[in-house]
Amino acid sequence: MSAPSPARGWLVVAAGMAVNLCLGILYAWSVWKASLIATPDAPPGTAMTGTNAGWSHLSDADATWAYAVCGLTFALFMVPGGRLQDRYGPRLGVTLGGLFLAAGCILSGLLQSYLGLILGFGVLGGIGMGLGYAAATPAAVKWFGPHRRGLIVGLVVGGYGGAAIYIAPLAKYLITEFGLTGSFVGLGCLFAVVVVLAGFVLKSPPPGYMPPGPKIASATPAAPVDNRTPREMLGTRQYFALVALMFGAAQSGLLLIANAAPLLAKAAKGYPFLEQNGWLLAAFGGIVNALGRVGTGFYSDRVGRTNAYALNGVAAALCLAAMPAIIAANNVVLLFVVVGIAYWQYGGGLSLLPALTADFYGPKNMGTNYGLVFLGWGLAFLVPLSAGYIKDLTGRDDTALYLSAAILAACVVLAKLVKKPTFAKETP
């Protein structure tokens, strides 16, 4: 049985979840993409009308670029965001993150263009996500011992994964009632308020704080924590393995996140309600994404991080490989099942990798260390971006889904090979 954790630590966890529930707008991108992409009756470049007057239809690849740029920028700014967190605490990074994200959403809405989406949602939004996300998880992890690390990480990052649960239907409503511009501006204002307020609650524990450990019968002293600097981490082969594991776990989920609404519309031919409400698959994915982070974090504390990665990865790879046949058969129920398993794997990976980073290199420099591992997540956006070009050329999703399954299967093998690094001497 575990010793009780301080109430302030649980408050920090809740604040981190609130921050990520806003930063997770990225996971509802398929709702905007469904409204942006061209149709046979409205080819790329065709001006929109009605509440979306001022906007033009985009190709599948162009409608994916803002999403991909956002992810790449997010990953790059996790590193300076982590350094800000390690040096100044979480509050500064989260506040800046909320303001950048809000500015990016508002700019996207006002410019009403492909360039506006790239600069606003892609660049400014990505900066905001990187700075904010880098601060929330390390701040929470430092309040708790290793025996709860998987669960705590899962709870905090679960907010990011779960954001699509409410953002997808809210975005669909705002787009229908107020147009693309109204949806971006309205959500940008909401995020600025919520993230900045939550930032005031985030705080790292005081110097010298020792997190409570599990209650045991004997008073055995806790083992010293082996904290490693970013330079030491970069000198190990395991760092590059963690980046590869992040890439493998992320690319499959990001491919589905970018295309959830269009995939449901394709599979639901003959079911008008589902065809017109593709956001349902995005919202469902958000639920499973969040549950996968918490659930995988929980059982990884018991079966081991790499075993949990392998279990999730094998199941998701099989589902990705089966998805083209399921879509062709218009089996909507089975589509929800296999997409749910793939989303669980994706969410699980984003709780396993920060926990593995702390397991391998200690929690002290986790902000910067995990920021460097997170570069694999940014690189993973190359898969959905490539999928957009493949679909524009072939009109099919099959090739990208098979490719994603193969990458994930290779990373499962890698997960079973990677071991914790050893160092010549301990660093206090």
Q: What is the pLDDT along the chain (428 residues), one digit of tens a residue?
A: 444 456 778 888 899 999 999 998 988 888 898 889 888 888 888 999 999 999 999 998 898 899 889 989 998 898 888 888 888 888 899 999 999 999 999 999 999 999 999 999 999 999 999 999 888 887 887 888 777 767 787 788 778 777 878 898 999 999 999 999 999 999 999 999 999 999 888 888 877 777 776 655 444 444 556 788 888 999 999 999 999 999 999 999 999 888 887 788 888 887 888 877 777 888 888 888 888 888 887 788 888 888 999 999 999 999 999 999 999 898 999 999 999 999 999 989 988 998 899 888 887 787 788 889 988 988 998 998 888 888 888 878 889 999 999 999 999 999 999 988 887 655 44
> Tell me, what CATH number does 373's domain have?
1.20.1250.20
What residues are paired with 58 via a beta bridge? 37
Tell me, yes or no, whether 216 lies in a domain.
no
**43 lies in a domain?**
no
Distance, in Å, from the CA atom of 350 to the CA atom of 362, rounded to the nearest integer, reads 17
* 1 lies in some domain: no
Within-domain flag for 168: yes
In a domain, 196, yes or no: yes
Contact 321, 402 (CB under 8 A): yes
Range of the domain at 260: 7-38+51-205+226-417
Read off the tokens for 148: 């709860």
Is residue 117 a part of any domain in this protein? yes
The rounded distance, in Å, linking the Cα atoms of 68 and 163 is 18
Task: Enter the pTM of the model.
Answer: 0.76
What SS3 state is found at 2? strand
C-alpha separations of 276 from 138, 172, 215, 267, 335 in Å: 40, 10, 54, 12, 16
**CA nearest 122: which of 196, 29, 38?**
29
Among 12, 282, 340, CA closest to 153:
12
Q: Is residue 109 part of a domain?
A: yes
Residue 221: φ, ψ to 5° = -60, 145
Phi, psi dihedrals of residue 108, rounded to the nearest 5°: -60, -45
Instruction: Please report whether residue 357 resides in a domain.
Output: yes
Total structural domains in the chain? 1
